[in-house]
Amino acid sequence: MSTESTCNFNSTDCKGIIRPITNNTKIPITQKEFILVGMKLCQTHYNKFIVNETHSLKYNEICSHLKHDEYQSQSKNPDKKSKNFNLRKVPKRLISILNLDETAKICSLCRKKTDSDPDYNMLEEYNAPISRKKNDSDNILKVGNHTYSFRKDVLYTGEELKQFESDYQEIITQLTIIDEISLSGKIKKMSNILYKNQRILGQKTIYDPDEFKNMLEIEDADLIGFFDELYQGTNPNTKSDKTNNNNKKKLKKVIINILKFGNNIYLMIHMKINGIFTIHDYDERIQNQQELRSMKNSKLVDFILHSLHNTKDYIESANILFATFEKIEQEDYLNNFVISTICDWPGQINLRRAITLRLNEKDNSGIPSQILSLIPMIKPFHVSLNSRETLFQIYHFFFKMIYHNLFGENKILVQKPKPRLIDLILNLTFYGWKNICNLIINRFKNIKDIEYLILIDLLDNSLPLILEIYAKLFRCGFYKGYLEGIVRIWVLFQRLQRHNYNKASLIFLSDVFYWTINKHPIIDILKNNLPIFNDYFVENFHSSLRYQTAESNTEKQIIQKAKIIDIERNDEEFKSAFINTRNTKISKVKLISLEKKVSLILLSLFDEIYHNIGKTKNNNNETFELPSFNNKIVDIRVLPLAWSTSNLPDEEKICDAENCNITNSSSNIVLICGHSYHKECLSFLNEKCEYYFNYLSKNIKTNIISLNKRSFKSLNDDKIAEITKNNNDLDDDYEDENVETLLEETEENIDNQYEIQYNIWLNYNNNM
């Protein structure tokens, strides 16, 4: 080692004490080539190359997660940069599914979001986090005059355990006495108070909800907090102050109406939410299916809380169902009949896996034979909901532009709004497009411009598909149209890279094709009674239950609430006391005006696209810069499917056919995928785009291989995921603008402007 007492740089900048570089010195990776062990640096150069560089590297570290920007945009403050991302090395369990290096770091936001992201947590390689248990060394319980310490190293004698059991039973007795004042008992108490005050004492009605609550609590101590408990059932934390005040008033009215109904009812606080807007009436055939969707046709047998994290959980849940048949002495039912089980994706894959293992391993699988009587089927509503949310997020830049032009730049549109707001924007956009679609198509004709084809695919293909597949095709029982819709929705999920649901729709199609080929009787039942195969009943009931319960409710409280809902949901007289009715005719007038406003927005946008034809910048077929959207950079998912194939469309060529030799024709057909062909070439290809067909065939095989691999996976490979509490509300619903408020604030009359612009575009077409 050098014995020099001067800095190795030996320059005029040298100042301060000499610091030796030893094996223990943490040399920044960027300086390791020329800062070596054994060198001596003055304080100035030590600060520059060691201290400051280390600080700079740490300060400029970024999260390596591929979806960091997406997760960040979904946070409550997407535009606010976090001061501390809390970067840590990627957990070993996530390295393989994230395709990151072991030294890579990801932030706390991405660590938490990854475990709740179905793109990752449904992968075979995914391992769930194991929650850390708190140190229980100080876990001390005092019961009566006795103190108990619950620690692994503490052992109690038999007498001490008997004393603990005695204390425990005493507490249970006390809790039972407290709980004896049941819901119906409290209703009876309230009813007696109201009767005495108004009928006997002749007191005036109290209209203020807070005064009403205070009066009840003063009259009877058992009612202290009861009004608040009912009020919490309306989930006030998710509503505005105005809505909460209205709910308090309605709640008071409901309680007063108890006198009308008598004391033998259970109070159910269920604010029925009617649709606040109806943009266009659905097919009249839907009216013929209303009886099939009636909740009167369903009955709650039991309500059981059970985790559903893996295949073993689903088998256990199925066993509960099988045990129900034994209780009612109908064990042979499943030997003669099958039950269609309408499932989301986890239910589909886990139940099918159980069925596959039972078929292959029989009794050795440990799975009951009754599992073979269950037929998992795709949830039509979930298909619709997932397609809408996915499309909205992929084309967020477009819908954000529509939204701000409709309601103002100051209105916030988060990356993932609530379904009601998504539906409003999608429907307004679609019907605004229908008003002027012929004008647009006639002006552009067969132009192969990327921006134009993006919007044609979105507005004329994807948007009507996702809006109608459930609301029209499924609900009206149009089997042929629904089946074709499922094929198209699979193509959409595949192009948008929506993992799992690009497999769920394939499973359904595989079943239907198998039943059709083998002439299985279930196919006729499906064709003639399509709307029955629906999750509407369960979703409707769960929606009511979620609305009337809070996260803090116990299992017993949730089950009790479920039974109350089942008892009272068909009591029309009771519900009429607090149903929130709306004037839908007023909403229709405003919505039609908004549709025309959307039409004006689209006319202006397409006019700009027309003047930007051929100006879209292609960055190696990976990203594209759109000039008509302020040079917004988008990835390949936004483009029509042709750009996902192995043969991309050529904007300079009239025909994309590989062996086209026609030179004297300028007439062509541009398909919805984005490829174009001469009529003669397309006829030669049997009216099919060969590139489109090859792309779909390849991805069908890929998805089937993945599905088979999952289905044959042994139960021993199951890892029971522990539920980890997320305290930062990252997965909560995001605050949207209130839909009713948006509609109330829309008063602008644009009929004249609409007529003027419509005629201008008509003239474009007439002059061409």
Q: Has residue 583 got a pLDDT over 60?
A: no
Top-confidence residue, 144 or 17: 17
How does DSSP assign 326-378, residue by residue? HHTT-TTHHHH--EEEEE-HHHHHHHHHHHHHHHHHGGGGT--GGGGGEEEEE
Q: What pLDDT score was predicted for residue 714?
A: 83
Residue 602 to residue 463: CA distance in whole angstroms = 15
How does DSSP assign 213-265, residue by residue? HHHHHHH-GGGTTHHHHHHHTT-GGGS-HHHHHHHHHHHHHHHHTHHHH-SSS
pLDDT tier, 158 (very low <50, low <70, confident <90, very high otherwise) = low
Q: What pLDDT score was predicted for residue 26?
A: 86
Please compute the mean of the pLDDT values over residues 376-384 and round it to a whole number.
89
User: pLDDT tens for residues 403-437?
Assistant: 999 988 888 888 888 888 999 999 999 999 999 99
Max mean pLDDT among 229-243, 503-517, 542-556 falls in 503-517
Top-confidence residue, 514 or 223: 514
Helix, coil or strand: residue 160: helix
Q: Has residue 369 got a pLDDT over 50?
A: yes
User: pLDDT tens for residues 127-144?
Assistant: 777 655 444 444 555 555
Residue 301 to residue 323: CA distance in whole angstroms = 12
User: pLDDT tens for residues 198-211?
Assistant: 667 777 777 677 78
User: pLDDT tens for residues 456-499?
Assistant: 999 999 999 999 999 889 988 899 999 999 999 999 999 999 98
Q: What pLDDT score was predicted for residue 34?
A: 81
Q: Of 58, 55, 81, which is closest to residue 68 (Cα–Cα)?
A: 81
Q: What value does the mean pLDDT of the chain take? A: 78
Using the structure block, give the residue that is written with the tokens 């799992």: 500
Is the distance from CB of 603 to CB of 595 less than 8 angstroms? no
Q: pTM, whole model, 2 decimals? A: 0.62
Q: Has residue 768 got a pLDDT over 80?
A: no
Contacts of 350 (CB under 8 A, 6+ apart): 308, 310, 311, 313, 314
Q: What pLDDT score was predicted for residue 211?
A: 81
pLDDT tier, 724 (very low <50, low <70, confident <90, very high otherwise) = very low
β-strands 617-619, 146-149 pairing:
unpaired
Please compute the mean of the pLDDT values over residues 114-137 and round it to a whole number.
68
The single-letter DSSP state of residue 654 is S
Q: What pLDDT score was predicted for residue 452?
A: 96
Is the distance from CB of 167 to CB of 143 less than 8 angstroms? yes
Residues 82-112 as b/e (b if ≥16 CB within 10 A, e otherwise) read eeebebeebeeebeebbebeeeebbbbbbbb
pLDDT tier, 224 (very low <50, low <70, confident <90, very high otherwise) = confident
Please compute the mean of the pLDDT values over residues 695-712 and round it to a whole number.
91
Q: What pLDDT score was predicted for residue 116?
A: 81
CA 301, chain centre distance (Å)? 28
Top-confidence residue, 222 or 691: 691
Contacts of 258 (CB under 8 A, 6+ apart): 187, 190, 191, 194, 265, 267
Q: Of 332, 336, 406, 342, which is closest to residue 604 (Cα–Cα)?
A: 406
Q: What pLDDT score was predicted for residue 275?
A: 29
Please compute the mean of the pLDDT values over residues 432-454 and round it to a whole number.
92
Residue 248 to residue 228: CA distance in whole angstroms = 10
Q: Has residue 305 got a pLDDT over 50?
A: yes
Angle (deg, nearest 10), helices 450-457 and 584-611? 160
Q: What pLDDT score was predicted for residue 80?
A: 52
Contacts of 103 (CB under 8 A, 6+ apart): 89
pLDDT tier, 240 (very low <50, low <70, confident <90, very high otherwise) = low
Q: What pLDDT score was predicted for residue 595?
A: 92
**Positive or negative, the Cα torsion across 257, 260, 261, 262?**
positive
Top-confidence residue, 559 or 170: 559
Q: Has residue 588 got a pLDDT over 90?
A: no
Top-confidence residue, 392 or 55: 392
Residue 337 to residue 400: CA distance in whole angstroms = 50
Q: Has residue 312 got a pLDDT over 60?
A: yes
Top-confidence residue, 124 or 425: 425
pLDDT tier, 147 (very low <50, low <70, confident <90, very high otherwise) = low
Please compute the mean of the pLDDT values over residues 510-521 and round it to a whole number.
93
Residue 15 to residue 9: CA distance in whole angstroms = 11
In the chain, domain spans: 18-59, 136-179, 183-271, 382-479+490-498+585-717
Q: What are the CA-CA distances from residue 271 to residues 277, 538, 686 (Å)?
A: 17, 18, 56
Q: Has residue 710 got a pLDDT over 90?
A: no
Top-confidence residue, 710 or 399: 399
User: In this predicted structure, which of 74-83, 155-164, 255-264, 274-283 has the lowest mean pLDDT?
Assistant: 274-283
Q: How many CB atoms lie within 10 A of CB 339?
A: 12
Q: What pLDDT score was predicted for residue 261?
A: 40
β-strands 617-619, 623-626 pairing:
antiparallel
pLDDT tier, 290 (very low <50, low <70, confident <90, very high otherwise) = low
